[in-house]
Structures are given as C-alpha cells and as structure tokens.
Amino acid sequence: MESVIILGTGIGGCTAAIYTARADLKPLVISGHEDGGQLTLTTDVENFPGFPEGVQGPELVARAKKQAERFGARFDYDFASGIEKKEGHIEVTFESGKVLETRTLIIATGASARWLGIESEAKFKGRGVTTCATCDGAFFKDKEVIVVGGGDSAMEEALFLTKFCTKVTVVHRREELRASKIMQEKARKNDKISFIWNSSVDGIYGEKVVQGVKLKDVKTNEITDFPCDGVFLAIGHIPNTKFVVGKIDVDELGYIKADRFSHTNIPGVFAAGDVQDTRFRQAITAAGSGCMAAMEAEKYLVELE
C-alpha cells in the first residue's frame, strides 16, 4: 500500500513529489506517455522565478525531478488506465496490467495542446512552432507570425503577440470567428492583426527555423506560400483525463473539477497542474497547485490516522 501515488511528471507532478517526499511520504511518481509534460516542448522558459537568464524547459523539469529524488521520491514509467475508490484507499490500474493501491492519489496528468497533425510540424516544434504565446512570444520580437485558430484563445494569443511582433496574421478555416464579440472587436481594432479566412496550414517550411507556411484554401484547395517567422497554434487543449471519466467529476471539456484546495469529488484524490486549469496553463501555476495538492494529501493522511 502506497501512501501517495502521483500521476504525471510535469512541473506540477514534480512539485507535488518534492513536497510529499520532504514530508517522508515516499511518493511513487508515474511518468506516463509525456514524460516531463508540456515543458519538454518549450525550449526557453524566461518567466519562471529564480532563473534570471532563463532555463530550458526540459532542464527545469529534470532539476525538479532530481530534487524530488533527493528526498526519496521514486519514479516509474507506466500509464494509468483507470481508478477505483475502495474502502480506505484508491486502486489505480495501469496499461501494463499492474494494479496499485494507495491511500492518496495526486493526478497531474496535464493537458496536451492540439497540434495540426501535419508531417512538417514535428520538425519545427520549439523552432518556430509553438502553442503558447505567453511562454514564447518574446522570442519573436520584430518578427512576423501567424496564429492558427478562431476562438477566444486565438484572439488572446494574437493580441498578446502584438506586444512583440511587427505583424500577426490569424489563419482560420472558416469565414467567421468563434471568439466572443468583445475579443473579436479587440483583435479587429489592432492595426498589427490581419486575417486570412477559409484557410488551413497544409505545410511548414524552413531550414533550421520556420520561414513560412503553405496555406490551403479549404474551398478551392489552392495552395499558396505565406512567409512568416513563427506559427502559434491556438486550436485548444485536450486534458489527459480519459482514465478518470465516470469516476471523478470533470467539466464539459474533460478538465477535472477541483476546488481551490485541489480536492476532487473523491476523498483522498487531488488534482494539480493543467489537468484542472482551463485558464492559465503556466509552469508557475502548475507548480503552485502541485504544492497545494501535496500539502492537502499530507493533511488527509494525518486525519486518517
């Protein structure tokens, strides 16, 4: 019987591991398919406190993992496929067939950004193709970029990027935006933002970094070249919560419903990081919620005794 199992090794899960390990709970941390979480796709992180020169995303996660191991956290690789609340504990089933029992469970499985799914996209991840303007916008100072999407998040990304970029072009596959009226108005009023309608990104080209995209007119299938320095994808996120649906309360998008103390509807089960965050999705907020989940798990264990 484990005292704490943590699902996910992003910065939220690793922070929870540090805190529970320092509390001598010897947490077992399961990495899952995306070891290190979304930070592993971010080259430079310049907004995490304590790194005045910035830090590589993978390095930040590796440091947090090493810190947790120093205090006794154990790390393993598997993928949770189901959970079940039992009398006095939680049972976690894994894809490998393994079944583990734990008194508390911290779910920090994150939310994966939706990608275009085109072959050339993978080549430029972290080299001009990104899913986070807040994280990477400053690297495109005085550059021209495109934002793919038509919802509120796309408008927010585009508006934020105008702080750095000389030109921001929103590429949307429909004739109308899905964004709220107020967000549409803000974007349309900004002189740096322009729109390309009825188009999708069919390819991304460049040598070492992005130099442009191939746009496909969804009505005529005509392909045109569009030079740009960066591609920001704002087509949504997918929370990694399939294994808890029907057991833990989630919202209409699949994000875990957690209260402000990281509690879920199941006693002893807590949520941290992007798996329960539909708004901020930042490394620092994930770390903070990981801390809260860990402290609440420790408190829960004390109350069980």
Length of the chain as a residue count: 305
User: Which DSSP category does 175 fall into?
Assistant: S
**Could you list the active site residues?**
132, 135-136
Angle (deg, nearest 10), helices 152-161 and 181-189: 30
Amino acid at 82: G
pLDDT at residue number 37: 87
**What would the two tokens of residue 102 be?**
């734990």
The three-point CA angle 281-17-49 to 5° equals 50
Instruction: Classify 295 as helix, strand or coil.
Output: helix
pLDDT at residue number 207: 94
pLDDT at residue number 291: 99
Predicted TM-score (pTM) of the model is 0.80
Q: Which domains does the chain have, with CATH numbers?
A: 2-113+237-304 (3.50.50.60), 119-233 (3.50.50.60)
Residue written as token pair 């006693």: 267
Return d(Cα 110, Cα 283) in angstroms, integer. Answer: 11
Per-residue pLDDT of the chain (305 residues; tens, 9 = 90+): 999 999 999 999 999 999 999 999 999 999 987 788 888 866 678 889 999 999 988 999 999 999 999 999 999 999 999 999 999 999 999 999 999 999 999 999 999 889 999 999 999 998 999 998 988 999 999 999 999 999 988 998 999 999 999 999 999 999 999 999 999 999 999 999 999 999 999 999 999 999 999 999 999 999 999 999 999 999 988 999 999 999 999 999 999 999 999 999 999 999 999 999 988 889 999 999 999 999 999 999 999 98
Question: Taking the CA of residue 162 as centre, how many other CA atoms within 13 Å lie in the half-sphere pointing to its CB?
Answer: 16
CB-neighbour burial class of residue 241 (10 A; exposed 0-12, middle 13-18, buried 19+): buried
pLDDT at residue number 176: 94
Instruction: Classify 33 as helix, strand or coil.
Output: coil
pLDDT at residue number 43: 64
